[in-house]
Structure 1
C-alpha cells in the first residue's frame, strides 16, 4: 500500500484507498451480501475480474442441493468422519476406464480436508483420510459439501501438488502468487499525486476524490500477476490468486467479510502511516504441528494451517521499493485479526477453505517425497504425472489485474494502500520444530485401525 498526504483547507480530506490488482467499479461492500455470491473469473486473455451471482432467496442453491442429493449414491453422499482414499488404487481405477474420470474421482469421493496420510508398504497403498460428504457446485463455481458448505478437494489440485514434488527430482522452494504494479506505474502514480498539490478548497472533496480515483488508476495501469511453483494455467493457481485478491479487498474495505474483523482501513484512518509507505500482506502455512509416527509412515495435520503476515516497505520517487524501518500498527492489527478469524471466514467463504486445502496438499506432497512414499509403496505415479494422459493445465493463466480504487471523505489524509500475495513453503512446515512425535501412539493406532483388505477395484471406503 502506498500513502500520500493531502490536507484540505478546513481539515477535511479525501481518503483514497487503492489495491494493486483489485476491483474497479461497484465494490463488494456496496452489495447486499445475502443477495449474491462473490467470486472471480479470468478472461481468455488472462485478465482477472470479479463476478457476483445473484441468489436473493437462496432458491438456486437449494435447487442444486436437492438435485445433487437425488443423483449421488447414498453411500458417498452421507457425511463420513473419516473417509479413506488410496492414491495408487485411484490411479489404477482411472486407467482401467481408459482415462475417463467420473465425478466421484474428480472430487475424491467428497473428501473435505486431508487430516491423515498413511503409507502401507505391504499393500502398496498411500491413503489420504479425512471428513467427507456429497457435493454440489455453487453458482460461483465452487464445489462444496451438501451440509457443511466446505469445498471438497479436487483431484486436479492434488495432482498439481504431487507433480510439484514428484517421486524423483526436487520440488519448488516456494509455491505462491503475487499481484504487483510495475516500477514505472509506481513512479507515475507518485508524480500524479505530487501534481495534485497539498491543499484544496473546502467543499470540493467529492470533486477531488473523483479526479484522484481516475488519475491514480490511469497512472498505475495494469498490474502483473506472477505464479510460482505450479503452472499458472491450473485450478490450483486460480485459487491462489482469488484468495489473495479478495483478502486485499477486505483489507481496504472493498469487500465486507461475513465475520467481524479489523480491516486495515479501520486502523489506518486513526493511526500514523508514513507518506510513502507500501504494505504487503501474504498468506503462509501455520500448523500447530504435524504429528508423525516413529517410522514416518503416518502423518496427522493439526491446526488451521493458514495465517496472514505483513511486510512493510517504502516507495521512492522513482517507484523502487525498500524495506521500512518501522512496522505499521494498522497493518499488524489487520493481519492478526484476519488470522484469528480465518477458521470462521473459511467456514463462510469457500475460497479460503480451498486455500487451506491447497496448503495441506502441498505439505502432504512434500512429505511424501521426503519420506520416499513412492519407493516404499512401489508407486511410480506414471499416469498422474503425464499431462497428456491426465490434463490439469486447462485454464487461462491469470496475467493482469486492474487497480481498485475507492474514496472516503474523512478528516486526515489521502491514503493509497497496495500489496499482497500467497507464499507456501511446504518444506518449512516439515522442519523438525514443526514435527511432533506420536508419543501416545494415536496416529499409529488410527493407521492400524483402517482396513486395507478392501476389494481390489475399491479406491475409497469409509
Structure 2
C-alpha cells in the first residue's frame, strides 16, 4: 500500500456549526427516494441549523405527512421536485465527471475541510454532500503514516432522475451521502445498546381484533370479488405503528428505513406495480392458493454481506456482498389479536422473498430507495468496523467531527410520524382470509463485522496514490 499525501492541516476551534437543516417546513415531505435539495451553507451556532440537505415536498413517488397519510406523488409533483433539485445541484466537473473503480476519501482531510468551512463561512458543495460521487465503500485502509483512515470504492458522476433522485450516470444507483455517513458514526453506540438498527411498521393488537370481528360477519357468494370489502377492512384494521431502534428517529437514515419497508410492502401486496420483470407481487403468486386466517406472512430486509476480509496486520479491510436480502416468516395471529412466530416459513412467501433478493439490484435501479437502503447499510458496516476494531486509534485520527463530539455538524431533522394509515392487502383463499401487512428492516452491523476472514494478499492488492491537489480530500487511486 502507498499513501503519499501530506499530513492533515492544523486544527482550529470552530466559531460556527455546520448543520443539515430543513429546506422548508411544508407538511408533506418526500419519503421514497429521499432526495433533498442541496441549499448548502454555514451559519453561526446561534442560528437555525444550516448545511441544508433540505426536505422536498415529493420525491420518488411516495409522500407522507406527520399525521401518517401516505399516497403516491402525482406526475406533476414528481416533475416539480426534479426541477427543484436540478436547480439546486451543480453537475460534476473535472475528475468528478469521470468514472473510476478506486476513488479514495481521506477522513482526516474531509474533517479538516468541514472545519475550514466553519472558519470561513463557506458553502458545503455538492462534491462534499455526495462524497465525491462514491457508489460503494469496498475498502477501509489504515494510514498510520499520515494519521488517517481512507475509504476506497467505485465512483461516477451524478445526475438527477426524472423523479428527483440523485443517482450515478452509469449505474443508476443512488450516491452515498455525507449526511448518512455522519448518522452512521453517531448511531454505533445506540445500535450496540439496542441490539442493532431496526425499523418496523406493524398493525396494532386492537386492529387485528377488530379485523377478526369484521371478517366473521363476511359471507361471500360463490365467485364474488371481495375487493368491495377492502375499504371496510382497512378501517377496521386501523393505523399501523412505526418503531425505530438504534438510530436517530428524525434522521434521513431513519426515513430511508421506513421508506424502503413501505415500498417493499407495496410491491409485495400489489399496492403498486412491480417495476422489475420476474418480480410479481406475493398476492399474484398466492392467488387461488389455500389460505389461513390465523397466519400472515411477514417480510423484512436484512444485511447480506460476505465475511469481512482483512490483511494479516489489520491495516486493509475489504467489505463485499450484495448488501441486502429479503427474509420471511409466518406470524401466528391469536384470537385476542396478539402475534407470535415459531420461525416457520410459508413456501410461497419464501419464494417471493428469494425472488426479491435475486432481483434486488434491478429493483434498486428502478426504485432508488432500495439503493439508498443498501447505502445506509454499507455506511453502518463501515462505521461499526472502524469503531469495533479501533481503526481510528490505530491510525491516530480523531473522528470527533464525524462522530459529533464537538457539535460541529448538525444533521437534518425531519418529521417522522409514529403511525401510518393502513397499508395492507387481503387474500380470500379456499380456507379463509390472509392479511399481509407486517414488515421491517434489520441492520446487524456488529454481526457482519464479527464475521472475518484473513486475506494477506489485501496488503498488496490495495494501492492508493496521492492527490494532485494537496488541499483536496479525495482523489483517484491506481
* TM-based fold match above 0.5: yes
> What TM-score, normalized by structure 1, do the two folds share?
0.81
1:155-178, Cα deviation, whole Å (9 max, x unpaired): 000110011126x99564211200
1:184-209, Cα deviation, whole Å (9 max, x unpaired): 1111111111122xx33457x35x53
Distance 1:151 1:233 in 2: 21
> What TM-score, normalized by structure 2, do the two folds share?
0.79
Match of 1:158 among 172, 181, 197: 181
Residue 55 of structure 1: CA displacement?
Answer: 7.8
- Corresponding residue for residue 393 of structure 2: 375
Please tell me the root mean square deviation across aligned C-alpha atoms, in Å. Answer: 3.1
Residue 277 of structure 1: CA displacement?
Answer: 0.6
Match of 1:51 among 72, 89, 101: 72
- Corresponding residue for residue 296 of structure 1: 314
- Corresponding residue for residue 255 of structure 2: 238
1:362-390, Cα deviation, whole Å (9 max, x unpaired): 11111101111121232332223338531
- Corresponding residue for residue 278 of structure 1: 296
Q: Contact conserved, 1:108 with 1:155, CA < 8 A, in 2?
A: yes
- Corresponding residue for residue 129 of structure 2: 106
User: How many residues end up aligned between the 2 structures?
Assistant: 414
- Corresponding residue for residue 189 of structure 1: 211
1:380-423, Cα deviation, whole Å (9 max, x unpaired): 32223338531214211242211135578887754322211000
- Corresponding residue for residue 35 of structure 2: none
- Corresponding residue for residue 95 of structure 1: 115
- Corresponding residue for residue 390 of structure 1: 409
Q: Secondary structure at the match of 1:254?
A: coil
Distance 2:332 2:428 in 1: 25
Q: Contact conserved, 2:202 with 2:240, CA < 8 A, in 1?
A: yes
Distance 2:338 2:125 in 1: 50
1:47-95, Cα deviation, whole Å (9 max, x unpaired): 2524335289x99979988997x74322212212211111121011011
Residue 325 of structure 1: CA displacement?
Answer: 7.1
Cα–Cα, structure 1 residues 242 and 308, in superposed 2: closer, same or farther, change >3 Å?
same
Distance 2:60 2:401 in 1: 35
1:217-239, Cα deviation, whole Å (9 max, x unpaired): 11121111111111111110111
- Corresponding residue for residue 330 of structure 1: 348
Establish whether residue 177 from structure 1 lines up as the match of residue 177 from structure 2.
Answer: no
Q: Secondary structure at the match of 1:427?
A: helix
Specify which structure has the bigger relative contact order, considering alpha-carbon pairs within 8 angstroms and separated by 6 or more residues. Answer: 1
Q: Contact conserved, 1:150 with 1:353, CA < 8 A, in 2?
A: yes
Q: Secondary structure at the match of 1:395?
A: coil
Q: Secondary structure at the match of 2:471?
A: coil
Match of 1:424 among 440, 443, 451: 443
Cα–Cα, structure 1 residues 296 and 356, in superposed 2: closer, same or farther, change >3 Å?
same
Q: Contact conserved, 2:191 with 2:247, CA < 8 A, in 1?
A: no
- Corresponding residue for residue 82 of structure 1: 102
| 1:310-459 → structure 2 map (5 Å cutoff) | 310-324=328-342, 326-386=344-404, 388-405=407-424, 413-431=432-450, 434-439=451-456, 441=457, 443-447=458-462, 449-452=463-466, 455-459=469-473
Cα–Cα, structure 1 residues 154 and 325, in superposed 2: closer, same or farther, change >3 Å?
closer
Match of 2:244 among 204, 224, 227: 227
Show structure 2 runs of 5+ residues with no match. 1-57
Establish whether residue 148 from structure 1 lines up as the match of residue 167 from structure 2.
Answer: no
